[in-house]
A and B are shown apart, each in its own frame.
Chain A
Amino acid sequence: MKALRIGFPHAAMISGVLGLVACGARTGLEAGPPKPPSPECVVDSDCPTFGDLCNPVKCVPNAPDAGTKPLGGTCEDQPKVDCNDNDPCTTDTCTPETGACAYKIATLDLDGDGYRGPIPGTIAGQPGSCGDDCDDTNAAAHPGGTEICDGVDNDCNGIIDDNATFVPVSGEVVVSSQGLQPASPGGLAWSGKVYASLYSGKSSGDRVFMSILNPGGDKVTPPGEQPFTFVNADSFAGPTTWVGDRFGVIWQDRRANNNYQIFFSLLGEDGAKKLADTQISFDEDGVVGAVNPSMAWNGTEFLVAWQLAPGGIYNLFGARVSVDGAPIGAPVALTNSDNGLGNESPSLTAGKDGVGVAWFVGDALSKTVSFQIFSTDLTKPTIPPMVLTDGTTNAVYPTVVWNKDRYIVAWADWSAKPRAIYATAIGPDGTMLVAPKAITNPGQFHSRWPFLKPLGDRLLLVYSDDRDDQNAGYEIYSRMIDNQLGPIGSEQRITKAPGDSLHPVASFGPDGNVGVLFRDDRLGEQDVWFARLACVAGGPPPP
């Protein structure tokens, strides 16, 4: 084969000579017989794509001209290897080196309970979902399981802790250490063994810290409290989520490029970082950079959204990140600012067959909340944007969750009457199922900073409220609401200390507990605290 290859330059030389003829050069060869055209190949390996057995190619001998022997051949593509097995439950690929087909199961069993989660955008157990584990982040949830009070849909009936409610448990604990003030909560998630708490604290500038907590909120040592970011520039903690065998963590910092960027990493339940800091957002923007990240887990991928003002007006961008922390494709724009208003403060959640995104639209004078559903890969909106408020009030900082068959969007309205938490329910096709309505009742005071935990047929709302005029500040409250956004039972007050208790983030924990991470200045400075609610089987909470 090698000898044949050596002959190829000779053909090229002939071609060069013929080229000279074509250009009118006059040589002594002009008088000779015309030479055949240069062959494209002599053997298969001469063809440019040779070696890719998924797209085979052959060197087909040229037909001989009259009186001449064929010289080489032409590269011709052969039928490609078709690896499509028409099974939506597999990801079909062809290995170029061997031409072999590989059929990788498209769903995962991250929690190791023997049941696979559904394909993103489908409901577990339904046709085409390719998985029947309704919660692949927790081995206690799978078809045939027995429902207990543990914050998990054990029997996969779409309802978490059927008929149970949640009441505060005394014993709040401070999480962030002395010297990190002001500290602020970022994310909280339960692995099945421990909570991972991520928060911001001051230590030569702002830095993200991590503490692994036991069910009562006390630090597990080791690792104890550890810095999670190791840069000198400011960094601020974002949400975290447990996916069955690891935590995904996002945050924002301005270590480079003269502005903030969104970063992602993985955290083990041992408190060790498992991945290098991975930049998710792209380098652009002359205002402040990429800020205010939100994150969701769709069963196989992390979904991240943030705000950025590449053209001077804020827009939202989104990205997908693999379970191993690799960005999937490039970030995509989720909004435009054709109306001249900015798009900020995104919150996103994985829904039935799409991704719901709620966000703030406006500026300092015009404030509305919008919602839109996107394709599971975030590339295409599936419904037009829905404006949920009329713009006459200060509706800000929305949050969205998927609750069995609908999106629930909640936000705080800082100027409406009442200045309460409002919410709406929206179907997977964009139908408004429940019109926006107040779901808290602060009277003449304020409710702010809502956080929702979906339970299937109802939701747990955790929020701040300053109605206790004797306490000169905000306190953390919770209440149950049904899927029509009506109250279930009475409101529960979680904190009672002097000063402000703000910015709650919540996570289901062990034995039906709900952990709540929040900011509190009862000790004179802003610290991060942990409180918990306990699951009570059956019936509404006592007044």
Chain B
Amino acid sequence: MRNRIFLFLLGISLPVSLAGVAGAGCGSVSVETNPDGLDGGGGDAKHDVHTSVTTGGPDGSGPDDALPDYVDPGCPDSGPPITQYMCDPFNQNNGDCMGGEGCFIFVQYPQEPCGQEVYGAACAPQGPGGQGDPCMGFQDCGAGFVCVVSGSGDQCIQLCPLTGKDGCAPGLSCEPIDVEGFGGCL
């Protein structure tokens, strides 16, 4: 079964001024890992004789069929992600950034369960990369482009608005990036 491909922003480091803003954690989400994994399940066997033939369920028809609901404790809703836009990524030449710089979107992941992300945009020296060029981070892409994990090689793609005319070249569509409000032409 094919997975749905999403675009993940790659290699944008957080401006120092925002460090520490993210992550008002709660730790209440249940994250279980069981590397050994196998569920137990014995039987009412007697010593050294063939006694039990079960499949795990009380009627022998399947695994434990009484699947109780799991109430997900979730996280306290901390509201929308924190944002700090220091320039307009859709308007690269409006004077927000100095010559040779571009306005690049960024995201900082949370450091702990229930932490918040930080979205934003900041000025940084632009790179040479255009649509489809390989990249390892924003610094490899030109103004108006973004470096993403595309599932087909990390590449620069053109930023596009998710509503209205996207401005993508024929054959490309505007795919959401994991920075709210932004898409990339793919």
| Interface residues, chain A, with chain B CB atoms under 8 Å away | 53, 81, 85, 90, 93, 95, 98-105, 107-110, 112, 181-182, 184-187, 200, 202, 204-206, 230-234, 236-239, 241, 244-246, 252, 254-256, 258-260, 263, 265-266, 268, 272-279, 287-288, 291-296, 307, 320, 322-324, 326-330, 342, 344-349, 360, 362-367, 394, 396-401, 414, 419, 445-446, 450-451, 466, 473-474, 500, 502-503, 505, 521, 524-526
Contact = CB atoms under 8 A, between A and B. Distances in A.
A255 B151 contact: no
Contacts of A292: 3, 5-6, 151
A351 B162 CA distance: 39
Given A100-B51, A105-B55, A204-B77, A276 B70 contact: yes
Contact of B10 (A287, A323, A451): A287
B37 A103 contact: no
Contacts of A328: 37-38
9 contacts: A100-B51, A104-B41, A105-B53, A112-B62, A231-B75, A320-B37, A347-B3, A521-B163, A526-B162
Nearest to B129: A364
Contacts of B134: 363-365
Given A329-B37, A364-B135, A307 B46 contact: no
A364 B72 CA distance: 40
A474 B174 CA distance: 11
Interface of B: 1-6, 8, 10, 29-39, 41-43, 45-56, 60-65, 67-70, 72-75, 77-81, 109-117, 132-135, 149, 151-156, 162-164, 170-171, 173, 176, 178, 180, 183
A276 B54 CA distance: 26
Contact of A230 (B1, B8, B75): B75
Contact of B154 (A233, A294, A364): A364
Closest 3 pairs (CB-CB, A-B): A230-B74, A100-B45, A399-B2
A258 B53 contact: no
A252 B62 CA distance: 29
Given A101-B48, A362-B152, A503-B4, A232 B67 contact: no
A503 B70 CA distance: 30
A232 B77 contact: yes
A238 B4 contact: yes
B175 to A, nearest CB: 8
Contacts of B45: 95, 98, 100-102
B37 A81 contact: no
Nearest to B165: A472
Contacts of B3: 238-239, 292-294, 345-347
Given A260-B8, A345-B152, A232 B78 contact: yes
B155 to A, nearest CB: 4
Given A233-B109, A256-B112, A399-B1, A274 B62 contact: no
A474 B172 CA distance: 9
A295 B75 CA distance: 27
B102 to A, nearest CB: 19
Contact of A99 (B42, B47, B70): B47
Contacts of A99: 47-48
A268 B64 CA distance: 13
B5 A234 contact: no
A326 B34 contact: yes
Given A100-B48, A287-B10, A294-B3, 11 more contacts: A100-B45, A181-B163, A230-B29, A256-B111, A296-B1, A324-B64, A345-B3, A360-B151, A364-B132, A394-B152, A505-B2
